[in-house]
Structure 1
Amino acid sequence: MKLYSSVLLTAVLGLQVESVLQSSKHTEATELTGLLTSPHLQALMEAHDCIAEQELDVETIESVDQDENTTKLASLEKTRDMPLGVTVRNEHDRVIISRVVSGGPTEKSNLLSEGDETLEINGVPVRGKTLSWSPRSLSLQMHVKANFSYDPSEDPYVPCRELGLSFQKGDVLHVTSQDDPNWWQAYRDGHEDQKPLAGLIPGKSFQQHREAMKKTITDRNQEYKGKLWCAKKGKKQRKKLLFNPSKNIEHYTEDILTYEEVALYHQPPNRKRPIALIGPPNSGHDELRQRLLSLEPDRFAGAVPHTTRKPRAHEVNGREYNFVSRQSFESDLAAGKFTESGEFEQNLYGTNTDSVGQVVNSGKICLLCLHPRSLRVLCSSDLKPYIIFIRPPPPPQERFSTLLTRETLEKVREMEHSYGHLFDAVITNTEQEKSVSELLRLIDKLDIEPQWVPSDWVS
């Protein structure tokens, strides 16, 4: 039988040690007694107690059972409106500590352990009662980028709504514990010192599972939408309608984006990250690329494309194009070296990652305009691209209902939904001069500040 204990203050422990030492006849015990009763050490212990009381706002222990392995009686108070930082669960009629939250008063007391049973709270027996206090664990720490937004106030499954951590898509989270696979503990990056308690966020597998379940239900409803079943069906017909949620959920789980582990990366001075500009056809991203190339030709360069056509009289291999045989082009294409490729008048054209690497190795910044589908090849290379989505300006109100405008808005939504987790920055191209200045600011920042990138790029 166990009961949670709080902080045993240093002075109390010191007195207990002194009483034990005084009964001893050993010379070492006499020397240690002298040290413990010296004015300097007494002052140090008193200062320690004062600081502990201010930080944790705890009371001294009232009493301790002789058999400390069995029962402990303690007092712990929270400061202001800070939670104690502990959650409990019910096991039959017992109230068990479920988790101790990182950074809370309970963890700082260092005497509460997961799995302990609570017998009384403020003198009131709790066995047989249903409680919901509302995890301590530093088992696996990492940083992740969130690929979805989360609001704990709208989540009926979060163990303690007050401890839930809200975040937006694209936020970087510092995960401090994954002991509970369903509910991780985390801080928003940079907020560790501002918020004393870690918050609860859905674990990766748990989030994937419930999103997959939503999708299977939606797809199932779409499948049977508008169908009216009136006739009595035989066994063979009923078999066709059987729904296997486990199978369908497993099918969707891998495609559901939740978190991506990230690490800080500072680009070397002689190896600049390529800049990939992504956007719909009328976003102006190609014009912005051309503007940067003309503004600073010594700093920026484009990758020389490959082609299987014959060079014209004025063309030089490696300047306008890299002229290669069809067999060589198709071999690199099969090896996944082309970020994009196509065929025109029976000739193949494309941008090879080797061409991008040549610009990077020269010390210049490679500027690319790509279709979002090309990002898969670029991101799986060792080039570490910095991806900027160029959003077209909002249309004038009088043209808002035109077909072209609706198609553009739909294309923007589709790109952001399907590829938004790959974007490092977004620029709305309302005015070219402002967009150029913002592009240069973002590119300059890569030389000054480390950036969050997928962890496997660093490892």
Structure 2
Amino acid sequence: MPEENGHPVDTIRMVGLRKKPDEPLGLTVREDESGYLIIARIMAGGSIDRQGLLHVGDAICEVNGVEVETLKALHEEVAKCRDSVTLKVIPALHDPPAANQVTSSLHPDSTKTICYMRALYCYDPAEDTLLPTCPTQTATEIGLKFNKGDILQIVDQSDPNWWQAQVVGGRGRRTGLIPSQELEERRKAFVRQEYDYVHKIGICGTRISKRKKKFMFSTKKSMDYDQAELILYEEVARMPPFMRKTLVLVGTHGVGRRTLKNRIIAEDPSKFGTIIPHTSRPMRELEEDGKAYHFTTREAMEADIRNHRYLEYGELNGNLYGTKLDSILSIIRSGKMCVLDCSPASLKYLRSSSEMLPYVIFLAAPGMDEIKNLYNIGSAFGYSSRNLTFDRSSSIRYSSRRARTLESLASLYEEDDFKRTMEESAKLQRAYDKYFDLVIVNNDLNDTLNQIVEAVNRLATEPQWVPVTWVY
């Protein structure tokens, strides 16, 4: 049997493809150890994918009768083509892999045509040195740029390192390559976030440093593990409008969480409610069980804690305090949205629970002047983060050096609190932003309240992308 380039002639195929002048063919090509130009991948939705005449592993020998031996020559000949192109190809020796293989996180053993992911980090292909491109291809031509929070339609996961995806709502819905979860995990090298200053957001008051440390995980340090950037994509599903069951306000101390929670409930008590915490503290004079607290014994609380019946709990002055899960479910079953101002460490449980269905709002600390205003509002209601105060009228010799020194110290302590609030706010946002549905900078309590109410009302009128675990 006659041969060409060591291959039987009857195995060589001539493939005619239709081509739009300004549209790429939609494939990547690599040069193997024998010098053949091998199709490495076919982009889903591209020209070649739509026509179905080429497969991964096929070798391209000629373009319109011109022999091509290098990637550069292949690109130049294809670029000359206008409406059509004819390729001489050597079919792959093995059966081509099934196209458009997508694995669901819920059913890893099954495959489907499509799935959707929420991006939990930003990606710019122009900055990616590992992106598989030909010498004449730019990274922006083959890669897909996306921002944190974008919804990605994953159309092919057959390559363990590079997925093919589209940005939902993006212009033209172009298909491009993005790093797989596994590749990006390895590349980030498990850098603990508080040391990853490269990705720190620029919020006033944060301390910037060039120090960077590596961190290897231990299962005993589950809190550090949960806060690390391991979850890079979250599988989501598009749901019709519906109301969430809990409204969770998260933010650092002094940013106005409790004030806003009380104002939200006062705005519409028939729609919003909140829990009454439990405590092992003895009941004081004039207190009633079920008003400010549910009073119980320490033994009963410890037993419930062991049985995971508390969302969160802590100890103060030898007494236990906690938020019981049954209290949250009781509010939900009454038909109200339960408003919580819990610790961010509780977000993972809330987010994974199909009973809680939380809408999480992060209240970011504003600038110095706005925090001082929040502090003054809190002080007017009897709240204070410092016991050190100075009253000018109480000093007989206000003009004395000692009096002026005390007032200066009080001012410095307050300013130090404000700076610490901004720094802690930035740290919380970096550590837990994958759980947030909305971020609001609390510059003004009235404006923030209006934004929260508007966001909650939109839930009943607009479709939502929610974790796929809420649906299936």
TM-score, normalised to structure 1, is 0.71
1:344 aligns with one of 316, 328, 345? 316
Contact 1:102/1:136 (<8 A) preserved: no
Is 1:353 aligned to 2:322, yes or no?
A: no
Is 1:413 aligned to 2:461, yes or no?
A: no
Task: Tell me by how many angstroms 1:73 deviates.
Answer: 4.2
Structure 2 CA distance, aligned partners of 1:298 and 1:276?
Answer: 18
Contact 2:118/2:152 (<8 A) preserved: yes
Give the match for residue 13 of structure 1. none
Give the match for residue 14 of structure 2. 72
Is 1:85 aligned to 2:33, yes or no?
A: no
| Counterpart residue identity of residue 302, structure 2 | E
Structure 2 CA distance, aligned partners of 1:126 and 1:397?
Answer: 66
1:180 aligns with one of 159, 181, 185? 159
Size of the aligned set, in residue pairs, is: 366
Is 1:157 aligned to 2:130, yes or no?
A: yes
Is 1:263 aligned to 2:225, yes or no?
A: no
2:45 aligns with one of 103, 109, 116? 103
Task: Tell me by how many angstroms 1:70 deviates.
Answer: 2.9
1:138 aligns with one of 71, 92, 100? 100
Task: Tell me by how many angstroms 1:451 deviates.
Answer: 2.2
Task: Tell me by how many angstroms 1:295 deviates.
Answer: 1.3
Task: Tell me by how many angstroms 1:432 deviates.
Answer: 1.6
Identity of aligned pairs, percent? 34
Once the two structures are superposed, what CA deviation does each residue of 1:235-271 show, in whole Å capped at 9, x if it has no partner? xxxxxxxxxx9x95999998433112122345756xx
Is 1:455 aligned to 2:468, yes or no?
A: yes
| Closer/same/farther in 2, CA of residues 212 and 253 from structure 1, 3 Å limit | farther
1:210 aligns with one of 187, 195, 198? 187
- SS of the equivalent of 1:74 reads strand
Contact 2:37/2:60 (<8 A) preserved: yes
1:167 aligns with one of 146, 161, 169? 146
Matched ranges for 1:284-363 at <5 A: 284-311=256-283, 316-363=288-335
Is 1:197 aligned to 2:174, yes or no?
A: yes
Once the two structures are superposed, what CA deviation does each residue of 1:117-138 show, in whole Å capped at 9, x if it has no partner? 1111233212465678699942
Once the two structures are superposed, what CA deviation does each residue of 1:357-413 show, in whole Å capped at 9, x if it has no partner? 1111111011111221222333343312111001122224999x9533432221122
Matched ranges for 1:5-44 at <5 A: none
| Counterpart residue identity of residue 163, structure 1 | I
Once the two structures are superposed, what CA deviation does each residue of 1:184-234 show, in whole Å capped at 9, x if it has no partner? 01111223xx4253111001100001111777xx99xxxxx99xxxxxxxx
| Closer/same/farther in 2, CA of residues 2 and 210 from structure 1, 3 Å limit | farther
Contact 1:101/1:197 (<8 A) preserved: no
Give the match for residue 239 of structure 1. none
Contact 1:265/1:451 (<8 A) preserved: yes
Task: Tell me by how many angstroms 1:316 deviates.
Answer: 5.0
2:121 aligns with one of 148, 164, 176? 148
Structure 2 CA distance, aligned partners of 1:201 and 1:95?
Answer: 23
2:64 aligns with one of 109, 115, 122? 122
Structure 2: unaligned runs, 5 residues or longer: 79-96, 103-113, 134-138, 197-209, 373-411
| Closer/same/farther in 2, CA of residues 132 and 321 from structure 1, 3 Å limit | farther
Contact 2:235/2:468 (<8 A) preserved: yes
RCO (CA 8 Å, sep 6+): is it higher in 1 or 2?
2
Is 1:373 aligned to 2:345, yes or no?
A: yes
Task: Tell me by how many angstroms 1:356 deviates.
Answer: 0.7
Give the match for residue 442 of structure 1. 455
| Closer/same/farther in 2, CA of residues 411 and 317 from structure 1, 3 Å limit | same
Structure 1: unaligned runs, 5 residues or longer: 4-65, 220-224, 227-244
Is 1:385 aligned to 2:358, yes or no?
A: yes
The structure with the largest helix share of the pair is 1
Which structure would you say has the larger Rg?
1
Structure 2 CA distance, aligned partners of 1:366 and 1:431?
Answer: 23
Contact 1:148/1:169 (<8 A) preserved: yes
Structure 1 CA distance, aligned partners of 2:71 and 2:358?
Answer: 56
